[in-house]
Structure 1
Amino acid sequence: MTIQSITEATRDLLDEKEAGLFLDTAPGTLSVWRSTGRYNLPFVKIGRKVRYRRADLLAWLKKRTRESGATE
């Protein structure tokens, strides 16, 4: 990996606050979802830090998109 590819890859990582803004959800809510396993929302753990890949957030939203009020 080159420095440029590493920089591009880490630019795609969002911290809890950024991910919360992206999902219109409080960072604390994301923490609860992680600890309880309520939603299968992928995250990356780097030491004590938690990061979310933008692509994972988009895929998660797409999976949760419904065309009717019915749940699966």
Structure 2
Amino acid sequence: MPSNDQHDQLLTPDQVADYLQIGTGHLANCRSRGTSPIPYVRVGNRIRYRQSDVHAYIEARTVNA
């Protein structure tokens, strides 16, 4: 059942790379090596990232100095 919560939206690799200001190639390399720090969903032959997983990735790497 789909959630109305916007944090569960599925994002494309382009959207994630743009948001994190990294290259899409970096995301692809991490997936191919099996070292992707962000869980992803394979939908057919397409890759998607849950927005909530992207936010969790950011929160886990936030440093409060």
Q: TM-score, normalised by structure 1?
A: 0.72
Alignment counterpart, residue 57 of structure 1, candidates 51, 54, 57: 54
Question: RMSD between aligned alpha carbons?
Answer: 2.3
Q: Give the 3-state SS of the residue equivalent to 2:42 in structure 1.
A: strand
Residue 12 (structure 1) shift: 1.0
1:47 corresponding residue in structure 2: 44
Aligned length: 64
2:18 corresponding residue in structure 1: 21
Higher relative contact order, structure no. (Cα contacts within 8 Å, ≥ 6 residues apart): 2
Identity of aligned residues (%): 30
For 2:38, give the aligned amino acid: L
For 1:12, give the aligned amino acid: Q
Structure 2 unaligned spans of 5+: none
Q: TM-score, normalised by structure 2?
A: 0.78
Q: Give the 3-state SS of the residue equivalent to 1:45 in structure 2.
A: strand
How far apart, CA to CA, are the structure 1 residues paired with 2:37 and 2:15? 18
Q: Give the 3-state SS of the residue equivalent to 1:50 in structure 2.
A: strand
Matched, 1:37 2:65: no
Superposition misfits of 4+ residues, deviation over 6 angstroms:
none
Structure 1 unaligned spans of 5+: none
How far apart, CA to CA, are the structure 2 residues paired with 1:64 and 1:37? 19
How far apart, CA to CA, are the structure 2 residues paired with 1:34 and 1:49? 12
